[in-house]
Structure 1
Amino acid sequence: MNLNKYVPLALLALTLSAGSAFAQVKKKPVPSPKNKPGAPAIAPKSDVLPVDQSVIIGKLPNGLTYYIRANAEPKSRAELYLVNKAGSVLENDDQQGLAHFTEHMAFNGTRDFPKNQMVDYLQKAGVKFGADLNAYTSFNETVFQLPLPTDTASVFEKGFNILANWAGYVSFDPSEIDKERGVVLEEERLRGKNAQERIQQQTLPVLLNNSRYALRLPIGKEDILKNFKPETIKAFYQDWYRPDLQAVIAVGDFDPKRVEALIKQNFSQLKNPAAEKPRTKYSVPATPGTAVKIVTDPEYPYTIAQIIVKHPGTVTKTTGDYMQQVRVQLFNQMLNARLNELLQRPNPPFLYGRTSYGNFIGDQDAYTSLVVAKPGELEKAVKAVVAESERARKFGFTLTELERAKQDALVGIGNAYRERDKTPSANFVREYQANFLTGEAIPGINFEYNFYIGNIYKVSLADMNAMAGKFISDQNRVVIVQAPDKEKANLPDDKTLLNWIATGGQNVTAYVDNVSSEPLLAKIPEGSKVAKQDTDAAIGTTTLTLGNGLKVILKPTDYRNDQILISGYAFGGTSLASDDEFTSANLASSIISGSGIAQFNQGMLDKKLAGKNLSISPYISEFAQGISGNTSPADFETALQLIYLYFTQPRKDKDIWDANMEQTRAVLANRGLDPGSVYQDTVSAVLSNYNFRGMVTTIPRLNAATLDKAYDFYKKRFADASAFTFTLVGNFDVETVKPYLEHYLGGLPSTNSKETYKNMNIQPAAGVITKTVNKGVGDKSTVQLVFSGHYEYNEANNIQVDALEEVLNIKLIERLREQESGVYAPGVRASYRKIPGARYSFTISFGCAPENVDKLINATMEEIGKIKQNGALPADIQKFVAEEARSTQQQLKQNVFWTGYLASSSQNGENPDQILAHVNSLEQITPQTTKDAANKYLSGKNLIKLILMPEKK
């Protein structure tokens, strides 16, 4: 169920401003390991927070600010950012959309990089357009990101020249402007022309009180984007892209002094305009009382209510501000834990509910309650979410709730502190960007960790119990309801809706915190000893075979200080379920993982695990069942206990089953209203050759499913551990963890059943198929072209498929985006598998105007034809090889990569050592091999065209 597409209108608005409606305490920055924490020394409440000494902050004579920090994670890489205090709120009436258009033009020609030379240069250096090289425009800022290697001095140093070109030397070639108009309009079409956009147009003026923010959405106005003159966009650039409104942020594995010299060398020549325009700071005026807006749309699939109480904005600058930020984090955590408990009831009052205090748009904070109602049950949902705020206001929180929240907060800050020398550079960039744009303090992890340790236990229950009363108000409040047209008869008028809110908490009683003092596991299992131990020195792994037959692949690393990743699998999965039991079997793992274990229901289990840094979940896929999760070294034994209990004492919870069934039925009820869902359901049906196992479930199949069938299937799949293989990657010592593995994994049941998966042949039909879906009133289309077939799975073929995928990506961006100006983001996704049957697929996808569908499909086939005729250009192969080599070097230093890779190698029966030769293997790629691959995999013999078109008028 993907509610994120529709849920938070307020959150959508905030996404445009790069904010967060539900902001918690910010992610902690991490300083250099040389800075060791001292004893907590917290300043008085009014003291300004210190600045982390590990960052160099300077300002050039022209006013440009810079932030420089040496950081070795990832090694031989750097993050370079250009931050401009220039966003859509600064646009004149005739410039609406041109802040965003300016961002696009920065990639389409500058003084030193005409036309597309910049992108071409960076791709050859291993920087991927769209994934690595990117930018965004919001209400108040435009930000460019440029991740670069630092082990090639010429490329790294050129990066500062590129940033300077963006900052002051964009060309605005009229011909390039005209070509980019179509791309920007297609971006607007991709993100809009739908129910969400139509609802947003009606609700944002109310939400933002007709302020400048409501009138200056970054995407702009279509007629202006089509017709503006080059001098109009140049005027915006000249007015607002100026050194005194810009910052350069450089964080990475480099010499800070050399970087400072490069910044001075490249940016000192930039000049501010002779007659500077004042940079107006816009705000959203307060709304007396409550504004209500109820909106419906024929294609909107959910009924959603939002209650937004706006407050003056805050920026964390002092120790008092920081202390309040900590309180807000604890408040949000406790209140939403209560809302989550409601979802575990057999008849939950809503599909989704959340209430939080956090940053909002236009120098505001907001107390936002959001609830997604079941069809026809808006009153119940609104009153339920309001009641929890009222319960907190009237009766406060319990001491046990507060202690759990404090423990979890300490886990978060403790993890950040222990990983202080392993924090990715991008994390620091976000901190410094916020400091430049808003003045948000950057005290560093040493200070923040000590602050938490020294102050969190000073937060009293009285402090927390007073917060809900401060947040709740009927002034400067906006209430929004958005729903399908078909729900109109069930929607209230303004007066009734406000009455629901006013009376929602009338009869609430104090919250009762049900906790258990019983241990997770009363007795440690005896287990079984290691029967066999093998080592692979090449990749640093040890494989243990325990007495019950279970295997454990261990790879100790130092990539993270506080992380161990765990993955376990055995073959079987839902392929072993009969058709009659499939729906129940398909629901089994999600139901069990949400039901708790042994005598603990999920709510009790969550409370039991408070203060622990771990997550363990069972899963059942089409061909396997298993466990996935992560833990800190300190909580490793608890993680193993959870695994043991998910095998031996899964919990059958009828309340969770009933709640899930009811929620799924509610979601399915209106799924057919949304054109995108209808299209994707059709895609799933066609690509599975209408096998119901590969399609979205139906209400009749759901009604035929039972908890007993689901539970029994789960038990069968986890009854025999002898066929399981576990992978552990992270910070541990093999000999130290071995006894724990012997007790808990070695103690799992073993029947030596030797089960494996069945190949259900869920795959596309052979031949050429075209399927067109006519759905939706918006002027937009979606296209997927799927090439597929049988595959010979091996490393040599996999490399050729990967190369062909990236070459096609490059060519289709050049053709469909740059040349045809017909799409915003064409995508090519190649996949291959060995299990359950060796298959490959290439999926080419893009959104476009309905009238351009045939033209763009033909253009796509032409580009494929060129590769089939001549092979890839050497320059494009060079780009792929550079990108693949860079990404492989980074992945080899990541726990998450090794966890997935070792599990995949085990499943496919491959030698994992081959990854060490992967970069050298890229030499196999030539124009001839790409030509051969294109003719083999893109022959067109098995091609499915899936097209979404608007409804015929």
Structure 2
Amino acid sequence: MRQFIKAFAAGLALWLALMPVGGHARDFGTVAPKQIIWPHEHSDLKPDPDARFGRLPNGMTYVLYRSNAPAQGISMRFRIRAGSIDEREGQEGLAHFVEHMAFKGSKAIGEGELVRVLAQNGVDYGSDANAFTHFETTEYVLDLPGWSDKLVQTGLFIFRETASNLTFDTAAIDRERGVIAAEERERATPDSRASQAWDRAAFAGLTYAERWPIGRAEVIARASRDDLLAFYHAYYRPSRATLIVVGKFNFDAMEKKIATVFNDWQPVGPAPAPPPLGTYQNKGLRTFVHAEKGLPEQLSLSWFRPWIDLPDAKATRRVGLLKALAVDIFNHRLSEGARAAGSPWLGAEVGYDNERLTANQTTVTVVPKFGQSPEALSDIVRRINQFRTHGITESELAEALIRFEAANERDLLGRKTPNNVDLASGLLDYVDHDDVYMSPQQFIDLWKELKPAFTVAGVNAQIAYLFSGDGPLIGRQGSERGSFDEAALRAAFEAADGQAVIAVTDAQAASWPYTDFGKPVRHLSKTAIRPLGYSRYTYPNGTVLNFKASALEKNRVVVSVRFEGGTRLFSPDGPDPLYRAWIYDPLSWGLGKLSADGIARALSGKAYGLGYDLDEEAAFLSGDTDKAGFPYQMQLMMAWLTDPGDRVDAFENTRGNLTYLEKGLRATPDAVLGSFVLPMLSCGDHRYDLPDAGEVRDLKPADVTGMVRRTVNNVPIEVTVVGDLSESAALAMMERTFATLPPVPGAPVFAPGGERLSLPQTAHSYRLFHEGRADQAIAFVVFPTTDAVSDLRETRRLELLSAILGDRLNEEVRERQGATYGASAGHYGSMVFRGYGYISAQAEINPDKDDLFVRILMDTARDLRERPVGYAELEKIRVPMTERLNDNFKTHGEWLRVLPGLYGSPRWDYEVGVAKQYYAITPAELQATAQKYLTPERMQRFSILPEKDGQTEPPVPVCLKE
């Protein structure tokens, strides 16, 4: 069930996302690639001394990074400087097609063998091994567990096969056409179509606007082996390749390994000519509207200038950082504006981009409140003109400098325990943009050298640049064109643009008022939980502290406050649907003495966070901070509990967000799956009711805050602190915050029926309808099982069985049938609702393949019932699963997930010693489990299909129970 809760929240985040339409994120002051020229050879910047750059005699370049990450494996990236922009007319999609074929066999690795090779080395195909095609690059990813010569050689061997030994088997090509078509279907959302339409409007005449990496369906359908080979030989050549390796190794030894493997790679045929990119042409003020059912309302204003083609150097960084300061300050103004009383918009964001393929670009994106797009546009235009006319204030600059410098220091301390995956991805980004990869200390030194230039006048000069150039292009997207069309957009902009604006006044810095919650209270007892290396402290008022000191991530401290009870505090018979709590954002509602803006000013430069989550076990407050910010993090959480703000203005924004969510529940198959299936798997439990337009209209602040407060008041409280922190520091803040609360109960009082949740007892087939494209559908099937803790060995059998089921489905439905981009299966078992659990299987498919998927699923289930799983297949699944377990516990975040509520609960055995539990399971047990559960008698089948001619059925049919 948790997966659907998260899907609902993810759906909400989708509708509230403020990504600029058609925008492409980029670091400030970067330069896009022309050809591989190591920038430190032509720059006054020096690269990180832990990085080594090199080039083989054949022209292939490599970047090695010597990491001191504790107990981490090796991360590799293989980048080919070729992407969709290199395709000519009639080739659209070949770069992406070649990337797919890299996993379909080479001279030394037969089709299907790569997954087995990866699994034998504990690598999960799809997460630890993957690939991505972009406009200018194709990038292959390998994150290997542990460190050994065997693993290194395996990674180098796989990339060497990718470089020039792919076989392009004709039958494999034909099967892959369907997979790519399915990927295009899966990615074809209203948002992606709006983004492509915006690109065509903004960059008409440029090759970029017609070269999205997914390609064209007709090209994919007819591309021949010769077509793919020709593209492969033209662009997969040493001079266009860069290998990145991050881990603990000796530079010289690694260079020898790379040379031994790659020195014999030679190009095939002549080098390709550069692609025709076109030239951006000024078009002046213009407007653009894209309307499509299910598309959330969004406005944008964009200015365009010629691409800045300068080397990465101190002067470039200085200008780039001034732009970054300007953008940061304006985004803070926009954040405050969204929370202002009567604001006609929910959120806004300014972004800056310097893109070789298009232009140098500034875009302001706005999400208006429902029905207030004209007012939102007018208000944003006024704020832009205010910013560009009067610039920033001294206090705004001072606060921004504090934020930047605090972030620099955190980066410096955090790099002492780096994450190899993040390092490899970061290096790849710098290589892609021909930037100098600097260490955090080098960047801090550069910042100090450049800081005298970071003045109000310097930032204001960049503000003038950011809002200059061709344009603006005023864009609008939404579910309906309505009366706010292109002409109305222009008229609204011109009317607002002519209004006089006044300068903002310097805001007074707020002091932090939440430092004293009463006399400190010491703990009563301490229990050392040696198997997991943490300590548990109890306090006179009944609160508990779990503390685990960890140097896994230097200077990072994560905190959660667990309030036991969760969804069980509400009755399944109503009247409190849980979505009211799930939409709550604690920071935006503020505190009693400080608004959200006041909190930001009072804690400027401090690392803190405040998230709220609710699941079946408990409600949680969470925060991510560092050593210096930890006291404020604890005070902030305590202040939220004891002096909530619950401002009406914040509620109006919450209502606005919920309005968009309600209108998007049917927009895509994924939205339907994430929203409607959970109520159908809970037998009409009213906790999982979804909002309708009338409920959103009539919602009151107390409807939200009342539910949230019910989850945190009069319930047991457990604080968990994990990170690079001393025991004394953790205890000191616990004693001054949560230990001072009045006594808390030893157990929550559940609502009538709150501990009840059940699945249907008889088989059902449901049809749900979405408003998306006519070729999009999802087949989703559920086999009821049991909860996670009643029989732990049964749980491990179910988890392994579902993983094997998913692997077989993917092999048949994707690899053999080419009917989906990915089929999957998984097991959910409740931690608190007895008997509640299920194995689910799903695939995004063409609607006419719905029956095919179910037929394959049932055939696979029957085979698992009739024949035991082979040892090799079991190991293929079990080895990566256990490796992932090991990797998870190398992060503070995983410990923060595990420790709250663990001690003395049935979850202990579920979380501890998991790898051994998996290895104790036999094929015979898996077969018996399949015979017990993978049967049609209680199977729930969901077909999520496109609407046709107003076709409808009840979105939540009555759940029959026996």
Query: Do both share a fold (TM > 0.5)?
Result: yes
- Secondary structure, in 3 states, of the residue corresponding to 1:417? helix
Matches of 2:368 and 2:729 in 1, distance apart? Answer: 50
The residue aligned with 1:353 is 348
1:288 to 1:834, Cα distance in 2 relative to 1, 3 A: closer
Indicate if the aligned counterparts of 1:212 and 1:282 stay in contact, CA closer than 8 A.
Answer: yes
The residue aligned with 1:508 is 501
Matches within 5 A, 1:372-771: 372-456=367-451, 458-473=453-468, 475=470, 477-485=472-480, 488-494=481-487, 496-497=489-490, 499-500=492-493, 503-504=496-497, 506-521=499-514, 523-577=516-570, 582-583=576-577, 586-587=580-581, 590=584, 592-669=586-663, 671=665, 676-678=670-672, 680-708=674-702, 710-712=704-706, 714-715=708-709, 717-720=711-714, 723-752=716-745, 754-758=747-751, 759-771=754-766
Deviations 1:743-786 (A, max 9, x none): 21211221536324443534432221111124435212111112
Please point out which of 775, 778, 785 is paired with 1:782.
Answer: 778
Residue 805 of structure 1 pairs with residue 802 of structure 2: yes
Matches of 2:249 and 2:21 in 1, distance apart? Answer: 37
Indicate if the aligned counterparts of 1:91 and 1:99 stay in contact, CA closer than 8 A.
Answer: yes
The residue aligned with 1:870 is 867
Indicate if the aligned counterparts of 1:389 and 1:468 stay in contact, CA closer than 8 A.
Answer: no
Matches within 5 A, 1:244-283: 244-280=239-275, 282=277
Structure 1 window deviating more from structure 2 (331-340 vs 522-531): it is: 522-531
The residue aligned with 1:128 is 124
Indicate if the aligned counterparts of 1:516 and 1:608 stay in contact, CA closer than 8 A.
Answer: yes
Matches of 1:719 and 1:838 in 2, distance apart? Answer: 28
The residue aligned with 1:933 is 929
1:696 deviates by 1.9
Deviations 1:212-237 (A, max 9, x none): 11222211121121112211111000
1:384 deviates by 2.0
1:595 to 1:825, Cα distance in 2 relative to 1, 3 A: same
Residue 210 of structure 1 pairs with residue 208 of structure 2: no
1:518 deviates by 3.5
Indicate if the aligned counterparts of 1:835 and 1:908 stay in contact, CA closer than 8 A.
Answer: no
Please point out which of 41, 55, 75 is paired with 2:51.
Answer: 55
Deviations 1:549-607 (A, max 9, x none): 11111111111121111112132345434667625993498264422213111111111
Matches of 1:53 and 1:120 in 2, distance apart? Answer: 37
Matches of 1:942 and 1:170 in 2, distance apart? Answer: 45
Structure 1 window deviating more from structure 2 (432-441 vs 866-875): it is: 432-441
The one-letter code of the counterpart of 2:405 is: L
Indicate if the aligned counterparts of 2:567 and 2:614 stay in contact, CA closer than 8 A.
Answer: yes
The residue aligned with 2:25 is 20
The residue aligned with 2:169 is 173
Deviations 1:623-652 (A, max 9, x none): 423321122111221112112212211123
Matches of 1:512 and 1:182 in 2, distance apart? Answer: 59
Matches of 2:578 and 2:223 in 1, distance apart? Answer: 57
Matches of 1:935 and 1:154 in 2, distance apart? Answer: 40
Matches of 2:184 and 2:835 in 1, distance apart? Answer: 39
1:416 deviates by 0.9
Matches of 1:659 and 1:149 in 2, distance apart? Answer: 44
1:363 to 1:244, Cα distance in 2 relative to 1, 3 A: farther
Indicate if the aligned counterparts of 1:95 and 1:224 stay in contact, CA closer than 8 A.
Answer: yes
1:163 to 1:541, Cα distance in 2 relative to 1, 3 A: same
The residue aligned with 1:233 is 228
1:392 deviates by 0.8
Matches of 1:476 and 1:517 in 2, distance apart? Answer: 39
1:616 deviates by 2.9
Matches of 2:494 and 2:78 in 1, distance apart? Answer: 45
1:709 to 1:137, Cα distance in 2 relative to 1, 3 A: closer
1:301 deviates by 3.1
Deviations 1:410-450 (A, max 9, x none): 12111110012211122332333234333112122221022
Please point out which of 300, 314, 320 is paired with 1:306.
Answer: 300
1:110 to 1:501, Cα distance in 2 relative to 1, 3 A: farther
CA RMSD of aligned residues (A): 2.7
Structure 1 window deviating more from structure 2 (131-140 vs 206-215): it is: 206-215
1:474 deviates by 5.8
Indicate if the aligned counterparts of 2:831 and 2:907 stay in contact, CA closer than 8 A.
Answer: no
Please point out which of 826, 833, 840 is paired with 1:843.
Answer: 840
The residue aligned with 1:286 is 281
The one-letter code of the counterpart of 1:382 is: L
Indicate if the aligned counterparts of 2:377 and 2:492 stay in contact, CA closer than 8 A.
Answer: no
Aligned length: 923
Matches of 1:680 and 1:523 in 2, distance apart? Answer: 43
Matches of 2:544 and 2:935 in 1, distance apart? Answer: 42
1:152 deviates by 4.0
1:669 deviates by 4.6
Indicate if the aligned counterparts of 1:290 and 1:474 stay in contact, CA closer than 8 A.
Answer: no
1:454 to 1:203, Cα distance in 2 relative to 1, 3 A: closer
The residue aligned with 1:885 is 882
1:871 to 1:330, Cα distance in 2 relative to 1, 3 A: farther
- Secondary structure, in 3 states, of the residue corresponding to 1:538? helix
Indicate if the aligned counterparts of 2:669 and 2:778 stay in contact, CA closer than 8 A.
Answer: no
1:396 to 1:697, Cα distance in 2 relative to 1, 3 A: same
1:374 to 1:717, Cα distance in 2 relative to 1, 3 A: closer
Structure 1 spans left out of the alignment, 5+ residues:
27-45
1:702 deviates by 3.6
The one-letter code of the counterpart of 1:20 is: A
Structure 2 spans left out of the alignment, 5+ residues:
1-8, 31-41, 950-962
The one-letter code of the counterpart of 1:948 is: I
The one-letter code of the counterpart of 2:212 is: L
1:171 deviates by 0.6
Indicate if the aligned counterparts of 2:664 and 2:671 stay in contact, CA closer than 8 A.
Answer: no
1:706 to 1:305, Cα distance in 2 relative to 1, 3 A: closer
Matches of 2:13 and 2:202 in 1, distance apart? Answer: 19
Matches of 1:269 and 1:613 in 2, distance apart? Answer: 50
Residue 138 of structure 1 pairs with residue 143 of structure 2: no
1:258 to 1:920, Cα distance in 2 relative to 1, 3 A: farther
Indicate if the aligned counterparts of 2:295 and 2:477 stay in contact, CA closer than 8 A.
Answer: no
Indicate if the aligned counterparts of 2:55 and 2:61 stay in contact, CA closer than 8 A.
Answer: yes
Percent of counterpart pairs with the same letter? Answer: 20
Indicate if the aligned counterparts of 1:74 and 1:890 stay in contact, CA closer than 8 A.
Answer: no
1:277 deviates by 2.1
1:284 to 1:140, Cα distance in 2 relative to 1, 3 A: farther
1:694 deviates by 0.8
Deviations 1:603-625 (A, max 9, x none): 11111111101213444445423
1:551 to 1:681, Cα distance in 2 relative to 1, 3 A: closer
- Secondary structure, in 3 states, of the residue corresponding to 1:946? strand
Indicate if the aligned counterparts of 1:7 and 1:304 stay in contact, CA closer than 8 A.
Answer: no
1:498 to 1:239, Cα distance in 2 relative to 1, 3 A: farther
Residue 824 of structure 1 pairs with residue 829 of structure 2: no
Structure 1 window deviating more from structure 2 (601-610 vs 98-107): it is: 601-610
Matches of 2:585 and 2:196 in 1, distance apart? Answer: 39
